Amino acid sequence: MARDEPIGQQAAAADLRRSFRPKWRKLLPERIARTILLLCSGVSILTTAGIVLVLVFEAFQFFREVSVLEFVTGTKWTPLFASSLVLMAQMTL
């Protein structure tokens, strides 16, 4: 700043310089927090999509072996898989 400028203009210029610095410093933590939250939401969405895909895939495989009508109206429960405890007991015998 030149010495011949009025004091009011020098003060206004100093205030202007000071006003930009705190805004940048204030916005940085907000940007970091927003980025972290966006990453967390992305992981959550991908996890949910993965769960839905696995359920659809397993349901498709199940209904290839059992008809929907038999599944809804059937009165006899016949599991298509053996329990892990049964498998372990068979392996030890």
pTM of the model: 0.55
pLDDT tens for the 93 residues of the chain, in order: 455 556 666 666 666 666 666 676 778 889 999 999 999 999 999 999 999 999 999 999 989 988 888 888 888 776 666 555 555 566 665
What pLDDT does residue 5 have? 54
| Torsion angle, alpha carbons of 70, 75, 80, 84, to 10 | 150
Question: What's the mean per-residue pLDDT of the chain?
Answer: 78
Per-residue pLDDT tens over the stretch 39-49: 999 999 999 99
- Alpha-carbon distance of 15 to 49, in angstroms, equals 51
Per-residue pLDDT tens over the stretch 11-24: 666 666 666 666 76
